Amino acid sequence: MSAPTTAPASDTKMRIEPVKSAQREQRVAAHSHIKGLGLLDDGTAAPNHAGFVGQENAREASGVVVELIKSKKMAGRALLFAGAPGTGKTAIAMAISQELGPKVPFRPIVGSEVYSSEIKKTEVLMENFRRAIGLRIKETKEVYEGEVTELTPEETENPLGGYGKTISHVIIGLKTVKGTKQLKLDPSIYESIQKESVTVGDVIYIEANTGSVKRVGRSDAYATEFDLEAEEYVPLPKGEVHKKKEVIQDVTLHDLDVANARPQGGQDIMSMMSQMLKPKKTEITDKLRREINKVVNKYIDQGIAELVPGVLFIDEVHMLDMECFTYLNRALESPLAPIVIFATNRGMCTIRGTDDVVSPHGVPVDLLDRLLIIRTLPYTLDEIKEIVKIRAKTEGLSVDDDAIDHIADRGLNTSLRYAVQLLTPANVLSDINGHSSIALEDVQQVDDLFFDAKKSAQHLTEQESKFIV
């Protein structure tokens, strides 16, 4: 019987596939095209820049506000964006937050968010006030910093008997540019190391007095061209392993409120942060907040901390009632207050919570006196055309010029929001009709399929007898 034959190695094919980069998918939202206020170096607004078209006066006024916030001369003051729907009030507020950068707290809420069956309206407002006030804490700490070269937990017999073993201590090796050091750590620190998911090759630092561990990132010596970009790579630390390091932490006053509602551990400001992520909700009293304000003021006076007044943006402010407005009057006078930006599209209307008190924008006159008011004006036909082009580019759509003209014309007669909404369904019809870009007939077809608010109102008027009143 002959032996079975095997295929030669050269006939087998090895399958090699490229590894795709794990990049986060970018979602397109209502204001994805806004990148900033679009101001020139002299503070004047460019007609079309950073995703913004028109509203030059409102953007220039907002630029002044940004400079006031950066120079910390605006705290406790308030702005009001007043204008018709779809004139860019929320977009300008978002642009202000982008101009301020990620280190300045920006807290956006809507007027209707304050109404809850569980929490008082004034408590919701105060909580958001505290979320919008940042505190930058600078502390010089004695730390051990370096790249982890060894991580060996040492086990011992369980002193209480049984079959299990417990960790008596952990040996960790740290390496910097200048040298290496081996440390023997307490088992409680090993728990912190496990929580931070530290492995050999990570750059960490351990605080000498508290034993808390912070993972900085992966050592750049481990970076390869095949990496999935999931890691943040950092250089090998300079200097000795044991050193004094300035630790900067950005928190909000609300973070300190929550941390101190369940006090545990030491009394230094970093120990206050250790309990922040507990899920259980505890009531925060005015007395507790006053005590925290005293501690914060003491740290500011000592130069340990720096106050960073952020922005609280309350959209649809006419949804607040008289009780909320009186509370806001008092809250704005507090020494620790953020910049508050209101926005409303209402004209003369009754203040919520009253029967006959009519006021501009639905805001009481005594609060209006405290506000700097910025008007946003309706867009012109040419401005709507530019906005439609920017939105099409942001959404990755190709649109013919005559289709853009038609969409802009519809936007002038209806609203900018309706005009922008036509783009995506028109693109779907464009694909069905086999067009390489959105054509005029695609837009006209979409316009026939869907009603705008004016068409719908007209239809209701004409067919009123057929509807249930």
In a domain, 44, yes or no: no
- Asked whether residue 223 falls in the same domain as residue 297, the answer is no
Range of the domain at 359: 50-115+310-376
CATH number at residue 103: 3.40.50.300
- Asked whether residue 370 falls in the same domain as residue 333, the answer is yes
Round to whole Å and give the CA distance between 443 and 402: 10
Q: Quick one: pLDDT band at residue 24, thresholds 50, 70, 90?
A: very low
In a domain, 26, yes or no: no
- Asked whether residue 242 falls in the same domain as residue 293, the answer is no
- Region of poorest pLDDT, from 38-52, 276-290, 291-305, 424-438: 276-290
Task: Give the CA radius of gyration of the chain.
Answer: 30
* Structure confidence at residue 230 (pLDDT): 53
In this structure, what are the phi and psi dihedrals at residue 80, rounded to the nearest 5 degrees?
Answer: -135, 120
* Structure confidence at residue 25 (pLDDT): 47
* Structure confidence at residue 27 (pLDDT): 59
- Asked whether residue 148 falls in the same domain as residue 214, the answer is yes
33-62 average pLDDT score: 81
In a domain, 20, yes or no: no
pLDDT per residue as tens digits for the range 195-220 = 888 888 889 888 877 778 888 888 88
The mean pLDDT of the chain is 81
Spell out the residues 6+ positions from residue 304 whose beta carbon is closer than 8 angstroms to its own: 137, 138, 139, 269
Round to whole Å and give the CA distance between 469 and 464: 8
- Asked whether residue 367 falls in the same domain as residue 264, the answer is no
The 3-state DSSP class for residue 214 equals strand
How many domains would you assign to the chain?
A: 4
Query: Is pLDDT at 355 greater than 80 in this prediction?
Result: yes
Helices (H), 84-172: 89-100, 121-131
In a domain, 2, yes or no: no
pLDDT per residue as tens digits for the range 372-423 = 898 988 888 888 888 888 888 888 888 898 999 989 898 888 888 888 888 8
- Looking at the chain, the number of H-run helices and the number of E-run strands are 14, 17
285-289 average pLDDT score: 84
156-174 average pLDDT score: 75
CATH number at residue 207: 2.40.50.360
Q: Quick one: pLDDT band at residue 370, thresholds 50, 70, 90?
A: confident
- Asked whether residue 342 falls in the same domain as residue 406, the answer is no
- Region of poorest pLDDT, from 191-195, 259-263, 444-448: 259-263
In a domain, 10, yes or no: no
In a domain, 234, yes or no: yes
- Asked whether residue 239 falls in the same domain as residue 145, the answer is yes
CATH number at residue 390: 1.10.8.60
5-28 average pLDDT score: 53
Strand-pair category, 311-315 with 339-344: parallel
pLDDT per residue as tens digits for the range 89-118 = 888 888 888 888 777 888 889 988 888 877
In a domain, 179, yes or no: yes
Rounded percentage of the chain residues whose pLDDT exceeds 70: 85
Assess contact for 147 and 202: CB atoms under 8 A.
Answer: yes
Query: Is pLDDT at 58 greater than 70 in this prediction?
Result: yes
Neighbour count for residue 69 (Cβ, 10 Å)? 22
* Structure confidence at residue 342 (pLDDT): 92
Rounded percentage of the chain residues whose pLDDT exceeds 90: 5
Neighbour count for residue 454 (Cβ, 10 Å)? 12
* 242 class by beta-carbon count within 10 Å (0-12 exposed, 13-18 middle, 19+ buried): middle
* Structure confidence at residue 14 (pLDDT): 61
Specify the DSSP element, H or E, that contains 289.
Answer: helix 286-302
Round to whole Å and give the CA distance between 230 and 234: 13
Assess contact for 310 and 338: CB atoms under 8 A.
Answer: yes
Q: Quick one: pLDDT band at residue 23, thresholds 50, 70, 90?
A: very low
Query: Is pLDDT at 28 greater than 70 in this prediction?
Result: no
